[in-house]
Structure 1
Amino acid sequence: MENSQEKSNKNLSYPDNLSSGDPHRAGMKPVSFVRQVLAVCLYPELLTDQSFPLDVRLRAQRLLEACDGGSVGSYTASSGLLHVRQSIAEFITKRDAGVPSCAKNVFISSGSQKIIVRLLASGEGEIQTGVLTPMPCPHTLPTLLDEGEVALVPYRLVEERGWAVDLDELHRAVTTARGRCQPRAIYISNPGNPTGHVQTRESIEEVIRFAAAEGLLLFVDEVYQDSMIGLDREFISYKKVLFEMGKEYAETVELVSSHSLSCACIAECGQRAGYMEIVSMDPEVMHFVDTMLCTDISTPVTGQLALDLMLNPPKPGDPSYDTYTQRALELLSDLPGISCQPAMGGIYLYPRLHLPSEFTQLAKVGNTKNDRTTLTWYCTLHFLQKVFVLCLLSHRLCVLVPPDTMEEVLTRLCSFHLRLMDGHCDPD
């Protein structure tokens, strides 16, 4: 006879493709603010509709003013709307703690990988362009390189060291490739796709020195920079490290870095927009890039606008920020054993658990010495098993998720936590 737990498991639905990087297909609901602004941009008569928050209507108005004719139906420059490119440059400058970025070096496209492949001149035999490519790598990259008649030069990531980039392996790869192609670039995925690794500053510096010594273009895929999970690692951009290494490298190493709408926290894959920033490129090559892009029709305008929204979410004081923050803050603060400070900035709440001391004994069943075992047991195991919500240790709570999703998660959290504190939730 099935127990209630087994019946609940059978009622759960899962996406049919667990390897897909499409969060909306997997059930993630779109961010309300993004869709509301896009809706107003697509139907400007909604600018006077009081049912939309004021910050939504003001943002839509600014974005429409940036479009030719005040309409998303107009073409843009092939490199993208200047307003959005300026927003991207401002985001990069802030992200990199003041390392300057310029809109003229930012290019918006409908595919961050494809545009880079087009930059790499192809040839035949020993003059064919080669790209050092990590193994494993994004599953679409080999096909794109093949279509562009670019040779894939594999280098293995070291799994035993957390999928580390190994300097000796890079030297082996480039030496082996010479004679059958001309290595001109190295592809880096950081954070790694599909491995999930994140490079340390020391590792990034090694790769930059290697690229400088071998005369290679650095093509850095940083599309998962918003999705940091590990407790002991932070994302540092290649550009920031490059400039902090001094003029010897900052003025000589050519770098192309990319980010994408589909891989960011709002996960708008279907909008098809991303950007690349080109750093320290030879002026003649930059002219070639401009010329090449002019042969393309511009990226869909709604995707460009979504990029602006991704990089500039609601801020404290905006109606769309306060609505979601207050509801979550009130529920969390009212729970025994949980405290939550009001947000002073950003789009997250960061609650703290104060669990009874006896929980430590329940959690340390395996006599582990890990001081974080209690919270790990609560967040990643027990909470997930009981209410089917994955709550990772030291994870924040984003307040921009759709209201119904926020309400459901908070309800499950409150119910579980109260039952646990009252002793009605069997920890076994």
Structure 2
Amino acid sequence: MSVEGTNGPACGRQKVLTLDSMNQRVKQVEYAVRGPIVLQAAAIEKELQQGIRKPFSEVIRANIGDAHAMGQKPITFIRQVLAICTYPQLLCDPNMPEDAKLRAKQILGACGGHSVGAYTASQGIETIRQSVAKYIERRDGGIPSNPDNIFLSTGASDAIVTTLKLLVSGEGRQRTGVMIPIPQYPLYSAAISDLGAVQVNYYLDEENCWALNISELQRALHQARQHCTPKVLCTINPGNPTGQVQSRQVIEEVIRFAAKEKLFLMADEVYQDNIYGEGCQFHSFKKILFEMGSQYSDVVELASFHSVSKCYMGECGYRGGYVEYVNLDPGVKAELMKLVSVRLCPPVSGQAVLGVITDPPQPGEPSYQTFLKEKTNVLSSLAERARLTEEVFRGAPGIRCNPVQGAMYSFPRIDIPPKAIEAAKAAGQAPDMFFCMKLLEETGICVVPGSGFGQAEGTYHFRMTILPPTDKLKVLLNKLKCFYETFTKRYA
């Protein structure tokens, strides 16, 4: 017979996993895009559903680049191909266009058992990697792309973290330093913390439309070498959260810098179709690298990333993406193959979406006109919303916002009165978190404080998407502008 307190559950046995015994690196990970402000937004939404009265009728989530959640309609051709892949009986449906059936047959033919429910090769379906390579060649004006250097992934995020895993090593001053832009997308700081690397901040020039300056890269590198070993230089183009588009000249300077300082380049290019600024153009790092000649293209190691989650597709939930490596050491590539095999394979539906967007309808095919119209409408609407955001913020005293040249976000800078800063400290919050929380609780608008992305000391920002439909975006911007005026008067 067991005695309570000796063999039973009340014996006082301590848990194996506690806050003290857990992996301490996990506790250092922060991801502002889904942080406290978003948890509070979810709580408020539940209260609204329960009939609790608020000074607003809905929460407007402008915190994350989730296009379909904000009302963007899926591209018909993408969904038709995916529908056929998921339910092949639709191959017999006369309402399905023949080009959609052809793409689906090609994808299904490359799947085990002709089913997207089967595992694929860990690197991804070969025919889709070939399609990605052809897409890159078209984008870059004919510069060759080898499918063997392309790895499909669970969105770009998975490929970015996997690449960092390969790069991070050492202890003490030998620990790998990873240079990231500030402001940055919090995936980078989170992954760096998780992997035990050293975050090396270089600051974008807000006064010059968030430009990247080589002198600032040099400063950050020099300081970092006092305490770690910088090996990686990350860039985000178009920028997230800043929305800037890098010029060809800047990209050339970055490549020369990486070559001179022996840095591995990581180019996050997931917003490459989202270009709105007058005179702005997307230049891929790979294209510029090869156009600079063999003294760079034979030497600089580059990983470039793309995703199905952004651009005109917005298919976040399918989790599809890829990374293309240039000049990756063959031995490291073999280790990479081993590393990706542990996860078995990326989601096959996400691979299929990637196959569709890299092999879209061509002129003369039945779906071409509809596809082109839908794609053009999405991108032109986003361009209109980018201009609208800039216009409204430009007319708001105390708010400064650079032009949204690309991507899906604005990153306005706001003046916060000293009394509000004191109130934030009393509440145990960063001043911009305090502002964003008040904004959410009083207007239902959910944006992310700039402190979650990094910002220059003494400055305050917030990131908001330009994804809400134009009518709702106008309401959001005007409510935000009015709230800011009220907030500053309250704490004047």
Percent identity over paired residues? 44
Matching of residue 316 in structure 1 with residue 363 in structure 2: yes
Equivalent in the alignment of 2:444? none
1:167 alignment partner, one of 192, 214, 224: 214
Aligned-pair distance for 1:223? 0.4
2:224 alignment partner, one of 173, 177, 181: 177
Aligned-pair distance for 1:294? 2.1
Cα distance in structure 2, aligned partners of 1:349 and 1:18 = 21
Equivalent in the alignment of 2:175? 128
SS in 1 for 2:60: coil
Matching of residue 214 in structure 1 with residue 261 in structure 2: yes
Q: Is the 8 A contact 2:75 2:371 kept in 1?
A: no
Cα distance in structure 2, aligned partners of 1:263 and 1:174 = 31
Cα distance in structure 2, aligned partners of 1:70 and 1:79 = 18
Cα distance in structure 1, aligned partners of 2:175 and 2:59 = 41
- Of stretches 210-219 and 55-64 in structure 1, the one that deviates more from structure 2 is 55-64
- Of stretches 288-297 and 203-212 in structure 1, the one that deviates more from structure 2 is 288-297
Letter in 1 for 2:128: V
1:87 alignment partner, one of 131, 156, 159: 131
Letter in 2 for 1:280: N
Cα distance in structure 2, aligned partners of 1:307 and 1:15 = 32
Matching of residue 64 in structure 1 with residue 108 in structure 2: yes
Matching of residue 244 in structure 1 with residue 291 in structure 2: yes
1:255 alignment partner, one of 302, 310, 320: 302
Equivalent in the alignment of 2:235? 188
List aligned pairs for 1:291-302, cutoff 5 A: 291-302=338-349
1:272 alignment partner, one of 319, 322, 341: 319
Equivalent in the alignment of 2:279? 232
Cα distance in structure 2, aligned partners of 1:223 and 1:119 = 21
Equivalent in the alignment of 1:286? 333
Cα distance in structure 1, aligned partners of 2:67 and 2:375 = 20
Letter in 2 for 1:166: N
Structure 1 portions without partners, runs of 5+ = 1-11, 329-345, 351-375, 385-394, 396-407, 410-428
Per-residue displacement from partner, 1:45-67 (whole Å, max 9, x unpaired)? 11101121222222211111111
Cα distance in structure 2, aligned partners of 1:17 and 1:380 = 18
Equivalent in the alignment of 1:102? 146
- Of stretches 93-102 and 108-117 in structure 1, the one that deviates more from structure 2 is 108-117
Equivalent in the alignment of 2:454? none
Equivalent in the alignment of 1:146? 193
Equivalent in the alignment of 1:51? 95
Aligned-pair distance for 1:292? 1.8
RMSD of aligned Cα (Å):
3.0
Aligned-pair distance for 1:27? 1.1
Aligned-pair distance for 1:319? 2.0
Alpha carbons of 1:94 and 1:324: their partners in 2 closer, same or farther (altered >3 Å)?
Answer: closer
Alpha carbons of 1:272 and 1:184: their partners in 2 closer, same or farther (altered >3 Å)?
Answer: same
Aligned-pair distance for 1:25? 0.9
Letter in 1 for 2:116: V
Structure 2 portions without partners, runs of 5+ = 1-55, 379-383, 393-405, 407-468, 471-492
Per-residue displacement from partner, 1:89-144 (whole Å, max 9, x unpaired)? 00001110011100000001112322222222333211111101100000222111
Letter in 1 for 2:217: L
Letter in 1 for 2:313: I
2:205 alignment partner, one of 155, 158, 162: 158
Aligned-pair distance for 1:320? 2.1
Alpha carbons of 1:57 and 1:119: their partners in 2 closer, same or farther (altered >3 Å)?
Answer: same
Count of matched residue pairs: 335
SS in 1 for 2:288: helix
SS in 2 for 1:176: helix
Q: Is the 8 A contact 1:108 1:273 kept in 2?
A: yes
Alpha carbons of 1:347 and 1:121: their partners in 2 closer, same or farther (altered >3 Å)?
Answer: closer
Matching of residue 303 in structure 1 with residue 350 in structure 2: yes
SS in 2 for 1:25: helix
Equivalent in the alignment of 1:335? none
Per-residue displacement from partner, 1:2-47 (whole Å, max 9, x unpaired)? xxxxxxxxxx997632121101111112111111111111111111
Alpha carbons of 1:130 and 1:33: their partners in 2 closer, same or farther (altered >3 Å)?
Answer: same
Cα distance in structure 2, aligned partners of 1:220 and 1:161 = 21
Cα distance in structure 2, aligned partners of 1:279 and 1:74 = 30
Cα distance in structure 1, aligned partners of 2:288 and 2:370 = 38
Per-residue displacement from partner, 1:209-258 (whole Å, max 9, x unpaired)? 11011100000000000111112110011111111111111001100000
Cα distance in structure 2, aligned partners of 1:30 and 1:323 = 12
Q: Is the 8 A contact 1:37 1:60 kept in 2?
A: yes
Alpha carbons of 1:14 and 1:239: their partners in 2 closer, same or farther (altered >3 Å)?
Answer: farther
Structure 1 segments (4+ residues) deviating >3 Å: 12-15, 322-325, 346-350
Equivalent in the alignment of 1:116? 163
Aligned-pair distance for 1:296? 2.1
Cα distance in structure 2, aligned partners of 1:228 and 1:13 = 33
Cα distance in structure 1, aligned partners of 2:112 and 2:267 = 32
Q: Is the 8 A contact 1:15 1:25 kept in 2?
A: no
TM-score with structure 1 setting the length: 0.73
Q: Is the 8 A contact 2:231 2:264 kept in 1?
A: yes
Equivalent in the alignment of 1:74? 118
Cα distance in structure 2, aligned partners of 1:137 and 1:347 = 28
2:71 alignment partner, one of 22, 27, 52: 27
SS in 1 for 2:83: helix
Higher RCO (CA 8 Å, separation ≥ 6 residues)? 2
Q: Is the 8 A contact 2:77 2:100 kept in 1?
A: yes
Cα distance in structure 2, aligned partners of 1:162 and 1:141 = 22
Cα distance in structure 1, aligned partners of 2:59 and 2:161 = 27
Q: Is the 8 A contact 1:222 1:257 kept in 2?
A: yes
